[in-house]
Amino acid sequence: MISSPNSFTSTISKVISRIRILLILMVALVIFSLILLIAGKNPIEVLRETFNYTLGTGHGFSEVIVKMIPLLFTSIAVALPSRVGLINVGAEGQLYIGAMFATWGALTFPQLPIYLLLPLMMALGLAGGAVWAFLPVWLRAKGLVNETITSLLMNYVAPSIVSFFVYGPWRNRENVMSPQTPDFVQAARMPSFFGTRIHLGLIVGLIILAIYWYVMKYTRWGLEMRAIGGNAEAANRNGIPLKKYLIIAMCIGGAIAGLAGMSEVSGIHNRLRPNFSPGFGFMGFLISWLSNGSPLGILLMSFVIAVIILGGDILQIKQGLPFAVVNILLAIALMVVLGSSESKKGGKK
């Protein structure tokens, strides 16, 4: 049976995409190694200790998966709106508001059984993220302000709102040293597996990733979203409701980011604290760009970035390096991606 030209082209495109991801990581690691040499460190020794700590033990591997869970959510939250040409830089803020909404549910209905309270908290997390994503996309749909600017700026408002509640009405008065809410009841905590901190959020994240893959590949919605992302004006002239798709895609993306916040406070912290996220929303943006929105790429890059984040801890302990070196590595990777994207555009002109 002879494969069609379209099938062959699709296969080649997928292979090129995988090679592109590997090349990006290799270039980033080479530049990072040069920085380590300048700092007087042995790059091979640094990388060896990082991988031994993260992947060389069962505990290290489980902690990588724990770090990977919110990255799965936030990268999908960026990738989905990008299919209609939206740039969602606000996943971090959406994550915080989703966590805040879910915390309200945990503190208000502690008497509910787990099979009611956890779904309620998930629904509230989804609602919180969607609400926080609505304003930027509504302004974009009205043609008033670009969503990139508004979603980015709102990232700095959301943690302040969370801090207001944590320092104010929700504060645990019994713990005067550390601002946080009271501990969640057991029914508000996501179940964990295998005696590790890996929790139910992993399964939920993988299910959402599978739904994202299926919708984009096999449904009319996915086809129309890709059409809008390819040429919004042509899609609009062909009767595709442009504004409706923009609002729905952005709000669903925000809802998924909100679910990341819910899974963190319910599955890991079991309470709400200020600044509980080390930047999962921003890292999700990086992962989406690195993977070009590919579901498999999102899965792989979420794992790789989780290894890098967790490896930053051991670099501080064993090598005396600041955690900022992790941010340097991630920034280098993003610059390589942006550089390769610009060179592609230049080659097409």
pLDDT in tens, 324-337: 777 777 777 777 66
Report for 157-161, 278-282, 306-310: range of highest mean pLDDT: 157-161
Please report which confidence band the pLDDT of residue 118 belongs to, taking 50, 70 and 90 as the band edges: very high
In a domain, 243, yes or no: yes
CB burial of residue 11 (10 Å; 0-12, 13-18, 19+): exposed
CB atoms within 10 A of CB 316: 15
Torsion of CA 315, 316, 321, 325, to 10 degrees: 70
Mean pLDDT within 249-260: 97
Arithmetic mean of pLDDT over the chain: 87
Residue 339, pLDDT score: 59
Res 1: pLDDT = 44
- What torsion, rounded to 10 degrees, do the Cα atoms 204, 207, 211, 212 define? 70
pLDDT at 21: 66
Q: How far apart are CA 86 and CA 75, in angstroms?
A: 14
Question: Which has more pLDDT, 236 or 155?
Answer: 155
- The pLDDT value recorded for residue 343 is 47
Backbone angles phi, psi at 194, to 5 degrees: 60, 25
User: How many domains in the chain?
Assistant: 1
CB-based contact 92:253 (threshold 8 Å): no
pTM: 0.88
pLDDT at 284: 94
The pLDDT score that the predictor gives to residue 31 is: 77
User: 39-81 pLDDT, tens per residue?
Assistant: 777 888 877 887 888 888 898 899 999 999 999 999 999 999 9
Q: Which residues, listed in sequence order, are joined to residue 192 by a DSSP beta bridge?
A: 199
Closest C-alpha among 86, 40, 110, 135 to residue 266: 110
Does the pLDDT value for residue 139 go beyond 70? yes
Is 101 inside a domain boundary?
A: yes
pLDDT the model gives residue 10: 60
User: pLDDT digit string (tens) for 206-254?
Assistant: 999 999 999 999 999 999 999 998 888 888 888 889 999 999 999 999 9
Kindly report which listed range (80-84, 125-129, 176-180) carries the lowest average pLDDT score.
Answer: 176-180
- At residue 54, the pLDDT reads 83
Residue 20 lies in a domain: no
pLDDT of residue 325: 73
> Domain for residue 299, yes or no?
yes
Q: Give the model's pLDDT for residue 62.
A: 94
- What does the alpha-carbon distance between residue 265 and residue 270 come to, in Å, rounded to a whole number? 5
| Residue 148 CB contacts under 8 Å (≥ 6 apart), including other chains | 87, 89
Mean pLDDT confidence for 268-289: 92
* Cα 254 to Cα 183: distance, rounded to the nearest angstrom: 26
Cα angle vertex 38, ends 34, 40, to 5°? 115
Is residue 132 a contact partner of residue 124, using CB atoms and an 8 Å limit?
no
Residue 14 in domain: no
Determine, yes or no, domain membership for 33: no
DSSP-based three-state secondary structure for 297: helix
pLDDT of residue 117: 97
* Token pair of 185 as six digits: 């009841």
Q: How far apart are CA 150 and CA 90, in angstroms?
A: 8
What is the CATH number for 70? Answer: 1.10.3470
- Tokens 């597996």, located at residue: 193
The rounded percent of the chain whose pLDDT value lies above 70 is: 88
- Residue 120: which domain range? 43-348
164: its two tokens: 């207001």
Assess if residue 265 is contained within a domain.
yes
The answer to whether residue 19 is domain-embedded is: no
